[in-house]
Amino acid sequence: MSSNSSGWSMKRIILLEVITLGIIATAVLFWSLRHLLLELLVALVLAVVAEPAIRLLTRIKIRRSVAVVVVFILLLTLVALVLFVLTVPLYHGVVAVIVKLPELVKAVESHRGQLGNILAKLHLVTYLKSSSTKVTQLITSAANPAFLAAKGLLSTLIDLVAIFILAVFLSLEGPLIVYGILTIVPSESVPLIKRAILDTSQGVTRYVLGNLLTSIVAGIVVTVSLSILGVPYAPLLGLWVALVDLLPLVGGLLAGVPTVLIALVHSTSAGIVMLIIFIAYQQIENHVLNPIVFSRAVKLNPFWILFAVLVGEQLAHLEGALLAIPVASGLQVVGRILWEERLRRLAESPRVSGSEEEI
């Protein structure tokens, strides 16, 4: 008897060790493939967002394969247009700064202009003069960072192309994948899975479109305000605000600080006005626009939104922060459906008799 029990204990120990090693190996594999999994997740979100437009085209008797190609060509064109609008003003702005750099340095040294006055008040002119040689060396040695930046931009473009290709294939094969999943699950679970897929798709689509809308509104407000105040490169700064405002909760702050500082360098009155505009717009966005987007689209508590963003940022940096809320929304939908199904089954289960309750 003792030998049998000891043998069974040894088998359980070996089984536990095998399971532990399997979990560790799986975790290592997922961590090694985290970049690929992140790209797949981005492609999945992109496919979900494109699905309403694809369905709209299929309703007017267009084949799904053609509809997928048309929708993603339009999305790719939109992304290319945004990159073009971003890079062209940025290029001209950098060239203009380089051309005006000697004049700007002279203005700073002679305490002329808004920037010169600010640096003089902060007692930084003497430091700049003493560090002019170091600044020159830093500028002349910028070739390697520029090369690394170009390499990073090329890598980003390749990743974007790969994500678009993955999203196209997911959109093309999505109905077949869903059908395959539904054929292997128990029949009583099919309605729950269909409901989870539909609710998650609607929530993610509404969140992404709502977030884009609030970001576009922020960019337009900043562009118009800076243009009225005469601050240079207003469209570029407005586009910067629109892109950074895509980050949930903290995007407005990150976009507003450098924009207000640039307006302040232009003139004190422009900086003060932009600060007031940003504070007012943030109040409207936080108390009017964002509650509509978050409560109706993802229905997440603000604490869980912040928690999801922080976790996503820690796991996958900027991409993780952008994907955190859609993923958290999907998990919440699945959890809510499972909980409602459990309550329904408990309510439908036959009640026991009084004698059985006493027993």
Confirm whether 265 is domain-assigned: yes
d(CA 30, CA 41): 13
In a shared domain, residues 314 and 180:
no
- pLDDT of the residue at 123: 54
- From 184, 200, 225, the end of a domain falls on 184
Tens-level pLDDT at each residue, the chain (359 residues): 555 556 567 767 777 777 888 888 887 777 777 777 788 888 888 888 888 888 889 988 889 889 998 998 998 888 778 777 666 666 666 666 666 656 655 665 555 555 556 555 555 555 555 555 555 555 555 445 545 555 556 677 777 788 888 888 988 888 888 888 888 878 877 888 888 888 888 777 777 788 888 888 888 888 899 989 988 878 888 888 888 888 766 677 788 888 888 888 888 888 899 989 988 888 887 777 766 666 566 666 667 777 777 787 777 676 777 777 778 877 887 888 888 888 888 887 765 444 444 44
- pLDDT of the residue at 228: 92
CA 139 to centroid of chain Cα atoms: 33
- pLDDT of the residue at 247: 76
In a shared domain, residues 277 and 161:
no
- pLDDT of the residue at 352: 46
In this structure, which long-range contacts are made by residues 340-346, counting pairs with CB atoms below 8 Å and at least 24 apart in sequence?
A: 341/192
d(CA 70, CA 92): 33
Confirm whether 126 is domain-assigned: yes
- In the numeric block, the tokens 């603000």 are attached to 302
- pLDDT of the residue at 356: 45
With beta carbons less than 8 A apart as the criterion, state whether 73 and 193 touch.
no
In the chain, the number of structural domains is 2
- pLDDT of the residue at 152: 59
- From 168, 184, 200, the end of a domain falls on 184
- pLDDT of the residue at 36: 78
Give the contacts of 18 (CB within 8 A, at least 6 positions apart): none
- pLDDT of the residue at 354: 47
In a shared domain, residues 117 and 177:
yes
In a shared domain, residues 278 and 329:
yes
d(CA 280, CA 274): 10
- pLDDT of the residue at 137: 55
Q: How does pLDDT run across 238-266, given as a tens digit for each residue?
A: 888 888 888 766 677 788 888 888 888 88
In a shared domain, residues 93 and 190:
no
Q: How does pLDDT run across 66-114, given as a tens digit for each residue?
A: 999 899 899 888 877 877 766 666 666 666 666 665 665 566 555 555 5
- pLDDT of the residue at 192: 83
Closest C-alpha to 218, from 251, 242, 188, 194: 242
In a shared domain, residues 211 and 332:
yes
In a shared domain, residues 221 and 244:
yes
**What residues make up the domain containing 237?**
186-346
